[in-house]
Structure 1
Amino acid sequence: MTRKFALLVGDGLTKDFVGNSFNTSRPFHNFDNNMVGSYYKFFMPNVKDIHDEILDLVTKHNLKNEFDAIEMFSEINKGDTRKECQLRRYLALSYSSFQRELDKQSKANWRWFNWIKTNKANLTFAISFNYDLLLETTLKECKIDNYRTGSNEKHVGVPIFKPHGSIDFDIQQPQYKNVMDQLTLSPWLWKNYFSLNQVNSMIQAIPSTHWLLPRLEADIIPPSQVNYQRHLDWVDKGFTIYNNMASEITDLIIIGHSYSVCDREEVDHFLERLAPVTKVHIVNPNISEDLTDKLESLNLEYMVITDFITMPE
């Protein structure tokens, strides 16, 4: 039987690539990288109050994890349309700044680049919980055609489903002739807010030239939040495509996903639709017992790889 594998990736994939050069969990501290911080000047004046409030929570509660501060911020400001929208824009723009530097890093000696390149003929589906585009650029450099489900991209190649959004997702907007056209609209965009990703339509992938400009609606789920955009058509389309392909998957490779409580319902959806003969490979230095318990309850065979060096076979 021909092997058909799917990828499910979390932040651990990006951490494995960047090593100590960036801290992927600190968007409010420029990811601990001065080069990333150099891009913040383009958007910071418009979201400074969000930035300052998050950092105040970090200091006041002595938090080591900025994602915890984001969770607290979201709870405190529940119902505040402006702050909720601006937080998502901040995340889209900060991770876009991170992506600018990420794109400068060579993948030539990265173990996952070489593994995917070797096994590219067998890749059938990919799921990414990351905002960044590392998975997409890796597939592109491996010469694997791909597209994001629910987007306006040409549907050719491997489908990539990003249920929590992406730095380059936005709702459909007029086609601008050039960046200057959109720059003139930026003040208007910053003053208009959409609550909880309420516009339900196909998403468009914006070009890299627009990454540091405000999204009309940043289709992003903040860290530690349950997916409140699950009902949107473009998200539902990703689940539907997966459902139609799941029974053919022989290997699901979970890379660097923590199986956190807020993501669990979605991850369980993917696991529960696998064929009984599918083998699950968990690549993570910190294995969740809840995840292995779930796999055992489904009678799915699994292999645990904790060193991030041993590659799935």
Structure 2
Amino acid sequence: MIILGNGFTIDFLTHLNIGENIIDVSNLFRHGENVPWPVDDTPGFLSYKYCPNLWTLGARPFLNIDESNNLIEDIITCSNTYFTTWSLNKRDVFYTNNSPIYIRANAELVAYLYSLFIYYDNKLDFDEINLDDWSWGKYFKQLSLDETINNVSIVTLNYDIWLEKVLMKLGIEFNISCFDNKNTKFQIYKPHGSISFQHKSKSDCTAYNIEVSDPTPDLKIADFNVCYTDLEDYKSICAIIPPAGDSNRLTYEWSKCIKDEIKEKARQLEKRDELIICGLSYWPVDRLEIDSMLTEIPPELDCVKLVNPRPNRSLNAVITTLFKNVIFYTSCNNLGD
């Protein structure tokens, strides 16, 4: 099993020599002024005009990474507490355009992030990308060709679809958990959602608006398609959970389906199997969710590899508490050895 966080995407962009001045997946507000507003495709999504609550709370393109992350964590912490504290009936009344500013900002944050990663996706031309010298690309190819390996389960907390496009580029077939029924070696699980999860409802982009409504409707996997093209066909319903958002507190049916499959797959791992964890931030507000995955994995695995140039100290402690055979790598260069 492979668990991927933001560090995997950063490693991919580093391989492509794409700087943060073009795509920055760490400081999520940095390029907000360049993200187009869906109605007329003009830049300025992150602005007082379109995201007044985010803007009032201080979201700006010039914030440094710590300032951006602190603001996002404040918004998500308030939302997490809200979902835990309020009963469903009270929340139906409470979650409106008159809701507290952090709740309204959460709705804007979800819509903004969805558009941000579509904007980023349009900056990459996979026809021009060379994966021959990328360690992860070589490792995926090695796993694909190894006939002694029956299954490669990849859990990714990233919204982008670059993992999927990398596998397509390498000629590796894969299955998106809960969406596809293909019998493939590679299985991808996206419990935090994806820009590729497109709601089946039809909408006119000229009617696009960020609505502050209850974000926990009974949306099921069957309500979505997986799409990798025409992502600009914006939907009012975004199937993503913000960074540091605790999906255990959010009653999304689509996310629950995916998480249940992850836990079932984790329980099926055997001693001879390998666990690779790459680039997890392990924010305080998302630790419960990550821990719930890790604790389903048998502790006697022969090898657990943590790949991160600057690993989180708390995650290091947790990993070495749960598992005995742990190896730490600062890069992915040794994965295939």
TM-score by length of 1: 0.79
SS of 2:103 mapped into structure 1: coil
- Deviating more after overlay: 302-311 vs 37-46: 37-46
Q: 2:91 maps to which residue? A: none
SS of 1:245 mapped into structure 2: helix
Distance (Å, rounded) in 1 between the aligned partners of 2:297 and 2:248: 24
Q: 2:161 maps to which residue? A: 133
2:155 and 2:188 in contact (8 A); partners too: yes
| Pair 1:28–1:63, CA change in 2 (3 A) | closer
Shift of 1:192: 4.8
| Matched residues, number | 292
The superposition leaves residues 10-51 of structure 1 with CA deviations (integer Å, 9 ceiling, x where unpaired) of 11111111125232123433389xxxx475672656663355
1:88 partnered with 2:110 = yes
Match of 2:307 among 261, 265, 283: 283
| Pair 1:285–1:48, CA change in 2 (3 A) | same
Q: 2:41 maps to which residue? A: 42
1:132 and 1:167 in contact (8 A); partners too: yes
Q: 1:70 maps to which residue? A: 72
1:259 partnered with 2:287 = no
Distance (Å, rounded) in 2 between the aligned partners of 1:275 and 1:129: 21
Match of 1:112 among 128, 136, 140: 136
Shift of 1:265: 1.6
The amino acid of 2:118's aligned partner reads S
Shift of 1:191: 6.0
Match of 2:4 among 9, 22, 25: 9
Shift of 1:226: 2.3
Distance (Å, rounded) in 2 between the aligned partners of 1:271 and 1:228: 14
| Pair 1:243–1:301, CA change in 2 (3 A) | same
1:85 and 1:217 in contact (8 A); partners too: no
Distance (Å, rounded) in 1 between the aligned partners of 2:103 and 2:283: 24
Q: Percent identity between the aligned chains?
A: 20
- Aligned ranges 1:227-306 → 2 under 5 Å: 227=247, 230-246=250-266, 247-249=268-270, 250-278=273-301, 279-306=303-330
Distance (Å, rounded) in 1 between the aligned partners of 2:269 and 2:139: 21
Distance (Å, rounded) in 2 between the aligned partners of 1:27 and 1:289: 23
The amino acid of 1:94's aligned partner reads L
* Root mean square deviation of aligned Cα: 3.1
Shift of 1:139: 2.1
1:281 and 1:303 in contact (8 A); partners too: yes
| Pair 1:229–1:164, CA change in 2 (3 A) | farther
Shift of 1:186: 1.9
Unaligned runs of 5+ in 1: 1-5, 175-181
1:54 and 1:70 in contact (8 A); partners too: no
Structure with more of its chain in helix, by fraction: 1
1:150 partnered with 2:178 = yes
Shift of 1:54: 4.4
Q: 2:92 maps to which residue? A: none
